[in-house]
Amino acid sequence: MTDLLAQPFTLPCGATLPNRLCKAAMTEGLADSWLRATPELATLYRRWSEGGAGLLLTGNVQIDRNVLERPGNVAIDRNDGIKQLKAWAKAGTVAGNHLWMQISHAGRQSPRYITNHTLAPSSVRLPLLGNYATPRELREDEILDFIQRFAHAAATARATGFTGVQIHSAHGYLLSSFLSPVTNMRRDAWGGSVQNRARFLIETLRATRKAVGADFPISVKLNSDDFRKGGFSNEDCLQVVQLLNTEGVDLLEISGGTYEQPKLLGFEGRGSSAEPQRQTTRKREAYFLDYAEKIRKVAKMPLMVTGGFRTREGMEEALRDNACDVIGLGRPFCTQTDFAKRLLAHEINEAPRFEKTVKLGQSRWLSGASPIFFIKIMNLLGQQGWYYQQIMRLGHGLAPDEGRGTLKALVLYFWDELTTAARMRKARRQLDAGVVPPNG
């Protein structure tokens, strides 16, 4: 019987992935104060490279050092760091796997403790816990500049040893927000019709391909649906995929949701437009397989689905049914770095699961619908914080702390965010003043 997960896969550009497993992008928060790669990132990705997945995707590398997804993002924006990128790429490919740099701009989803000067297609604020400023609408010359910055980051990735790139156009970040009618209310050539809303993404792909050449893998991460009423819908997605068919995309990763609707994390907020999940999809585990099957009918490029896969049976069924070509996995690699190797060797058949809850009690002020929603958000952030803490431990050469409580992880996560943000802001002021970053 053919071992589907272990089969190599050749991309349209000619590059071949050693197997069908991908360590999906997860934000690391391990850059230095100057937003350059660090020995901790090299340690982390060496462990993941040796862990057996054929493809590793980095957490989002930013094209704008002023507007980040979180403190500790790596950025490629007048901050040097070439030597550090080379060390990261070398460590992340020691086992012969691919390592692709995910390139992104956070847009309006940059927290206040990073900046009060967020950017977006239109001035539509993210109303989440008061943590996000009202963004400024981008000028056309800034859009054109960002297109070239994406291309420059991709060329830098190739020059420093990364074996591919992924353009992040999902989860409500800048390119994704241009696709949504809720956040893109422009009346110029960058807004209105689906074709206009997708123009930023399409022009970015064209500039990127020109910068890296025909033989270098370029992936796109795209929402199958924002799951928000009036937002980027599955019908919109199908139209965008048709536009992407002629742009030389080597792998399309299907995901979904935004900060308001973090469906990628298995959570639905208020105002969700998500359809009830079919029983067959529940059996197959992955959140977005139903959507991937619709996309498969129009897509001419290979597909990757990320989110929810936990068993060999579910992964193999998705490949066998031709629902996707590559399986994306994230959280399992935070506690078992060799999860893929053991899965491919048939030593295990299921990924680790660590879903904990924040215990906030039943005090009087936590009664009613709104506090219940608050508790859900805290549980979501607590779980995220728990995994972020594991990633940091891995980067420091430590074993995962599987016994760490979720509430403790949440507190430590926010402490790390705030202290890292303070160091980053200081370094940013120095860069703005013309100070050259120290060699390191």
List, for residues 393-415, the tens digit of each pLDDT value: 999 999 999 888 888 888 999 99
For the beta carbon of residue 282, count every other beta carbon within 10 angstroms. Answer: 10
**Do residues 34 and 82 lie in contact, with contact meaning Cβ atoms separated by under 8 Å?**
no
The pLDDT, as a whole number, for residue 110 is 96
Give the number of other CB atoms < 10 A from CB of residue 432: 11
Mean pLDDT in residue range 301-316: 92
Instruction: Give tens-digit pLDDT for 362-398.
Output: 333 333 445 566 667 777 788 889 999 999 999 999 9
Residues, the chain: 440
* Average pLDDT of the residues in 112-139: 93
Residue written as tokens 């997708």?
198
Q: What residues have CB less than 8 Å from 333, skipping those under 6 apart? A: 23, 26, 48, 51, 53, 339, 340
Q: Are 71 and 417 in contact (CB under 8 A)?
A: yes
Structural contact between residues 227 and 259, judged by C-beta atoms closer than 8 angstroms:
no
Class at the top of the CATH hierarchy for domain 4-355: alpha beta
Distance in angstroms (rounded) separating the CA atoms of residues 117 and 135: 6
DSSP string, 155-208: HHHHHTT--EEEEEE-TTSHHHHHH-TTT----STTSSSHHHHTHHHHHHHHHH
User: Which of 39-53, 82-96, 168-182, 227-241 shows the lowest mean pLDDT across its residues?
Assistant: 227-241
241 — alpha (psi -120 to 50), left (phi > 0) or beta?
Answer: alpha
Identity of residue 326: V
Q: Dihedrals φ, ψ of 144, to 5°?
A: -65, -35
Q: Is residue 15's pLDDT more than 90?
A: yes
C-alpha span between 63 and 417 (Å, rounded): 20
Provide the pLDDT for residue 351. Answer: 85
Q: What is the mean pLDDT of residues 71-95?
A: 97
Ranking 8-22, 59-73, 300-314 by mean pLDDT, the lowest is: 300-314
The bridge status of strand 9-10 relative to strand 16-17 is antiparallel
- Please give the average per-residue pLDDT across 255-281, as a whole number: 55
Q: Give the pLDDT confidence score for residue 372 in this predicted structure.
A: 62
What pLDDT score was predicted for residue 438? 86
Torsion angles phi and psi, residue 279, rounded to 5: -60, -35
For residues 147-168, give the mean pLDDT. 98
CB 265 within 8 A of CB 287: no
Q: What is the pLDDT of residue 374?
A: 65
| C-alpha to C-alpha distance for 389 and 331, rounded to whole angstroms | 12
